[in-house]
Structure 1
C-alpha cells in the first residue's frame, strides 16, 4: 500500500497497515516474545507532502524524506523526526539523563542516526567522548544531507562512530559509560530485542558505578503494558532508581512520548502512555529487577502518535533522577540553545496523571 497518496503521507499503525495489505503476518509490538498489541491501532496521522526528497530501501529498512513540517524523516512508514518539533524529543531524551548525572564525561548513544541526540549531548562541556552505535549507515548519510540542523555534530572530534549492532557492541564494553541513551524505534521486528530484559542487563553492565540510562519509553495512552513490564520486570530489579517522564512531541501518535530513566546510583525518561500503557508497564516491571532506581517521564511531541512521548530513566545507584544534579540558569538555557528542556521541566516531566500512577501502584 502506497503511504504517499495524492500529495499526502499517511502514517498507519503497522498492524493496521498489514491488514489493509491483506498480508498474513500482522506486525505486533513484542517484549521478550510477549505480544503487546498494535502500535496505535485504529488511528492514522497525515501530513501534506510538498516534495519527496529521498526514498530508498537500505539493507535494514525503508527510508523516506519529504518536505512538509520542514523536512520529515520516515523509517518503515513511521515518522522518526520532523524539523518542526524534533527538539522536543531530542532535548528530553538527552538532557534528562545528562543533567541527572553530576559529571557525564563518557556517553554512549545507541541508535540516533539522525544526529539529534548527539547534538544535544555535545552541548554539555563536561563530555569528553561520545560513542554512537547506529546500525544503518544510510540513515546517517541521509540525515547529513537533508537534516543539517540535527546532523550538525557528526564531525565532532569527541565522536566515536560505530556502524553496527548496538546489542553486540554492549557485550564487549563493560563499566565504560557515565550515561547511555538508547534511541530506538518501536519494538516491532528487529527492534524487538531492544525492549527485552537481556538488553537492559547489557545496558546496566556497560554503565559505570554511578551511571544513568535513558530510553525512549513509548506512549502511556498506547503502550502501558509494555511500559509496565520494562519498568517493573526489567529495570527495577537491577537499578536502584527508575523513573518515567512524559513530554509533548506533536508529530508522534497521541502527541506524547514517554522516557524511562534509570540510575546505577540513587538518582532518573518511553512510549506514549495514551497508546501503550500496558507495554510501558511491562518495560518498567522488568527494569525494576535490573536497576536500583526506575522512573518514567513524558513530554509532548505533536507529530508522534497521540502527541506524547515517554522516557524510561534508570540508575544503577540510588540517586533521585527527578531532580537535576546540575541546574540550569536562564543564561545557561540560552547558551545551550535549548528550545524545550529546562530544569523546572526536568522535574515536572515525572509528574504523572492519575491513571498512570494507579498502574504503577498495582505493580
Structure 2
C-alpha cells in the first residue's frame, strides 16, 4: 500500500492529526447532511430526521481527502473505534459495521439455494465482500465500485473490513454501476446486492426504474436482489415508492427487513429484497 500522500494521484489529500477541530459543511447534496467538528465532536444532521443530530467524540482526525467523486474523512472516536465519513455522512464504525454488512449479505444469500455468482454494486469498504466470502457455494464475486481512492483508504485504515478484497473469487470492476449492469449478459447472477447510495436520494440514477430493469435482466430465474431501503420511522412514504418500483419491475415477493445500527442517526438499516426470496424462511 502506498503512503497516504500518494494514495491517489491528483486527489486533494490532507492528513493532520494535530489540529484545531473546525466546522466543515457538506457538498450540497439533496439530503444536505453536514459534519460539525467544533469542540472535538462530529455530528450528522439532515432534513429527513429534523430536530436531531448524532454526535461522536473525535479523539483524532486520521485522514481527510477528496477524490474525483467525494470527500472522505477517517477519525478515531472515543467509543466506536475508527469512523469513516463520506461527504459529511457517517458510513461505518469499527464497532457496529457488522450489523449492517451481515444483514445486507446473509439475508439475501440465505434465502436462495446455493448461490453461485454474486454481484455487489458499491460496497467499496469490503465488508459485504467479507461476508459473501463466508458462503462456500459462491465461486464468483464481482464488485463494481467507481472510486478507487475510497477502496485504498479503507484498505489503509480498516484492514479487518477490507479483508474481503483478499478472496481470490473477487473481481473488481472500476466502473459506474448503471453502465456495468447494462453490459451484463442476461441471467448472469444469482444475487445482486446494492450498497452504493441512500436510495431515498431520488436524484440518483440508481434510484430510477431503468436501473432496476437492468438488474432484473441480469438475475437468473429465482435470483435475489437486495438494496438498502432506509428507515421506516422517517421515510415510510419514500419506502412505499421504492417498493412500488420494485414490484413493477420484479413482481414476485418483496421483503423489507430491519436491523439496528447504533451510529446511524435513524439507528437502523433496512434491506429490501426481491423477487422470489423469503427472508423469514431461510434456506440455510
TM-score, with structure 1 as normaliser: 0.66
Show structure 2 runs of 5+ residues with no match: 1-22, 25-35
Match of 2:132 among 97, 107, 121: 121
> Would the aligned equivalents of 1:187 and 1:193 in 2 still touch at CA under 8 Å?
no
1:97 aligns with 2:93: no
| Residue 149 of structure 1, CA deviation | 1.2
Alignment of 1:271-350 (within 5 A): 291-315=251-275, 317=276, 319-326=277-284
Q: Distance in 1 between matches of 2:148 and 2:205?
A: 20
State the SS of the aligned residue for 1:81: strand
Counterpart check, 1:64 vs 2:24: no
Query: Distance between the aligned counterparts of 2:118 and 2:241, measured in 1?
Result: 26
CA distance in 2, matches of 1:171, 1:73: 31
Contact 2:254 2:272 in 1 (8 A): yes
The correspondence for 1:4, drawn from 37, 58, 61, is: 37
The offset of 1:309, in angstroms, is: 1.3
Counterpart in the other structure of 1:229: 241
1:146 equivalenced with 2:157 (yes/no)? yes
Give the count of matched residue pairs.
248
Pairwise CA RMSD:
1.5
Contact conserved, 1:197 with 1:230, CA < 8 A, in 2? no
Task: Tell me which of 149, 160, 169 is aligned to 2:180.
Answer: 169
Secondary structure class of the residue paired with 2:198: coil
Cα offset, 1:190, TM superposition:
9.2
Q: Which residue, 156, 161, 186 being the options, matches 2:198?
A: 186
Structure with the largest fraction of strand: 1
Report what 2:6 is aligned to.
Answer: none
* Deviation for aligned residue 1:73: 0.7
Shift of 1:42: 2.4
- The 3-state SS of whatever aligns with 1:88 is helix
Partner of 1:237, secondary structure, is: helix
Query: What SS is found at the alignment partner of 1:153?
Result: helix
TM-score by length of 2: 0.84
Q: Is the 8 A contact 2:200 2:229 kept in 1?
A: no
- Unaligned segments of structure 1, at least 5 residues: 14-37, 240-290, 327-363
* TM-superposed deviation, 1:188: 7.1
Q: 1:58 to 1:190 in 2, by over 3 A?
A: farther
Matches of 1:12 and 1:78, distance apart in 2: 9
| Structure 1 residue 189, shift from structure 2 partner | 6.6
